[in-house]
Structure 1
């Protein structure tokens, strides 16, 4: 394939994809649903093959983009007209923290473990699960958070309240497994952990889904 043909096909492919996304009203890549993500991959593959395969002509690019664009348009028409198809084709949000408690069943359904949840929460400037009243896992994989009232974002300076020290929460038990490194970092030993569990009428760490320690607030615990 000579340079001129390659340049022409790249330009045509780019314009075709750009126009199609404009017509369909796509949101930004950070907000795409699973179906949109698959569509992006397929469209990229179609154009890529059309550009680098010598046997594929320019009209093949346009035909491929047009057909796939039509399929996307039909799917989106159905999701807008028929509410029942949305959960199948676009997915639906899941409440993974409800009334301050982790919903293990919803986490399992969405293949979400505690480490991933903590990562998503930190992206929302939430560093402790105890701060969350509700957390919703959106269809694009992000998490939106409603904090408990005591952790709202009102600034202390608004009321001339003296600043307090800030402490980072330490995860000690994660899905039934004790992190002894973190336990030591928190300044405790197995005896302290055993006594703490006994206070919550728990005999074994395996019965604990999540336990964290925060210096200014103590223990936060979720049972299995």
Structure 2
């Protein structure tokens, strides 16, 4: 076999082996490298290059070394899962940098982190004043997470005593101009319903690059033609406005009648509708 052809064959073989071994190591190997995983990535890559380019008779030793290294990495990961002491030793422990709004200088020196670097990391978290920080910690992967003081945290509906509807994952029902039946079944919807929603917006399935339905049954679409403006669905706001009008009409009827029984009936109905509106407000007002 010609040498150049052998290199091509070994390269393809090394890529395939490396792909499956990397999948065996798991997603963390790609998305969030720890200290040990960083070393593993460099070594495994070097061994794969050796298998690809070494044209002598010992290239198979590189394959053995690659398998041994991956097996050793899996053993280390298993040990980390079973033992916190092993995790702290291999991946380092988290270090508190700011506590009660004060910088811990000793911990800064321990992590060899300068004040400028700390301020830079805070700015990445949209924090520009040290006084706004209650707590900051450097994780084992080097990332710095920040907890703001209570008065500087974002206001949530819970803080205001407002109940909001639970939000579920939207389902993609149209992709690349084709209807996806499985997400429709998950939402207990049919193709006929979807076609009707598209007709309301003057669209066909072929025009839609991506279509999603949220947990409230509202369809939003992105078209192939980016310049075309698609009107946003207005069903929920219109329903809320209609119910508010009914409530106002019942109050008006109550004020305009002299019949005590009718007045009481209108007032009770208006009160019930008002209570219903308060319950439905998070779901239908947007």
TM-score scaled by structure 2? 0.50
2:5 is matched with which residue?
Answer: 4
**1:36-115 map, 5 Å:** 36-55=37-56, 59-115=60-116
- Give the helix-richer structure, 1 or 2: 2
SS in 1 for 2:89: helix
Change (3 A) 1:126 1:51: same
What is the CA distance between 1:56 and its match in structure 2? Answer: 6.1
Unaligned runs of 5+ in 1: 160-224
SS in 1 for 2:127: coil
- Rg larger in 1 or in 2? 2
What is the CA distance between 1:88 and its match in structure 2? Answer: 0.7
Do the aligned residues in 1 keep the contact of 2:3 with 2:55 (CA within 8 Å)?
Answer: no
Cα shift readout 1:198-220 (whole Å, capped 9, x = no counterpart): xxxxxxxxxxxxxxxxxxxxxxx
Please, what is the CA RMSD of the aligned residues?
A: 2.3
- Give the strand-richer structure, 1 or 2: 1
2:136 is matched with which residue?
Answer: 135
Cα shift readout 1:156-215 (whole Å, capped 9, x = no counterpart): xxx9xxxxxxxxxxxxxxxxxxxxxxxxxxxxxxxxxxxxxxxxxxxxxxxxxxxxxxxx
CA distance in 2: counterparts of 1:85 and 1:130, whole angstroms:
36
**1:1-224 map, 5 Å:** 2-27=3-28, 29-55=30-56, 59-154=60-155
What is the CA distance between 1:54 and its match in structure 2? Answer: 2.5
Unaligned runs of 5+ in 2: 161-286
Q: Which has the higher contact order (CA 8 A, sep 6+)?
A: 1
CA distance in 2: counterparts of 1:101 and 1:30, whole angstroms:
32
CA distance in 2: counterparts of 1:105 and 1:121, whole angstroms:
19
